[in-house]
Amino acid sequence: MRKGLIAVVLILLVVVVLVAFTFGSYNSLVTLDEDVNTQWANVESKLQRRFDLIPNLVESVKGAMAQEQEIFTAIADARARMAGAKSLSEKVEASNQLEGALGRLLVVTENYPVLKSNENVTALMDELAGTENRISVERDRYNEVVSKYNSAIRRFPKNIMAGMFGFEKRPYFEATQGADTAPEVKFD
């Protein structure tokens, strides 16, 4: 009788430990998943700030730079893609296209002394530059939390829990190919 009681207690103890481990693993994965979601929301809020600043900048610059219609078209197209992006990868791609078009605009405005002296343009350019810096910081933070999350769901034994509960690898925010090359603007 006593041996049976000890066996039952040991079995219950093992079950309690397994249940505690399962709950602990699941809860830590949920926390990491939410960290990724929160950080992506931070990236999106900075992208929205950029999105909102662009029309003001473009309108301020447009009159003096009518011949740069190609850049304005690229910005408008990229901004439209950004507005219509649904998935994370579409948003990243649209953001990178918008960033490239804005980079070309910033290079062009440096070559227009009249624009550089315009207070509205200068203020908007400063706002946009500050926003680009914020976006960069938030992207870095996003990639840090994605790294922690992806590492957690791949490590044993949490990888078993992650598989059981449907936790999947999250994508990093990566630069587009050629982003390491500065935009080239030529005046013919």
pLDDT tens digits, one per residue of 37-88: 999 999 988 888 888 887 877 777 666 565 567 777 888 888 888 888 888 8
Return the pLDDT at 185: 44
Which has more confidence, 152 or 76? Answer: 152
Q: What is the DSSP letter of 155?
A: S
Those residues whose C-beta lies under 8 Å from the C-beta of residue 136, and which sit 6 or more positions away, are none
**In sequence order, which residues have a C-beta less than 8 Å from that of residue 87 and are 6 or more positions away?**
none
Q: How far apart are CA 136 and CA 47, in angstroms?
A: 10
149-157: average pLDDT: 94
Query: CA–CA separation, 31 vs 23, rounded Å?
Result: 12
Q: What is the pTM of this model?
A: 0.66
> What is the rounded average pLDDT of the residues 19-33?
93
Confidence of residue 27 (pLDDT cuts 50, 70, 90): very high
Q: What whole-number distance in Å separates Cα of residue 156 and Cα of residue 169? A: 15
Per-residue model confidence as pLDDT tens digits over 78-127? 888 888 888 888 888 888 888 888 887 777 766 666 655 566 667 777 88
12, two tokens: 């219950």
- State residue 35's pLDDT score: 96
**pLDDT number for residue 77:** 87
In this structure, what DSSP letter does residue 183 have? -
Taken in order of first residue, the domains within the chain and their CATH numbers are: 2-165 (1.20.1440.20)
List alpha helices for 63-174, DSSP H.
69-84, 88-110, 113-117, 119-154, 158-165
Residue 71's pLDDT is: 76
pLDDT of residue 118: 67
* CA Rg value for the chain: 25
Listed residue (53, 43, 54, 46) closest to 101, CA to CA: 54
Residue 129 in this model has a pLDDT that exceeds 90: no
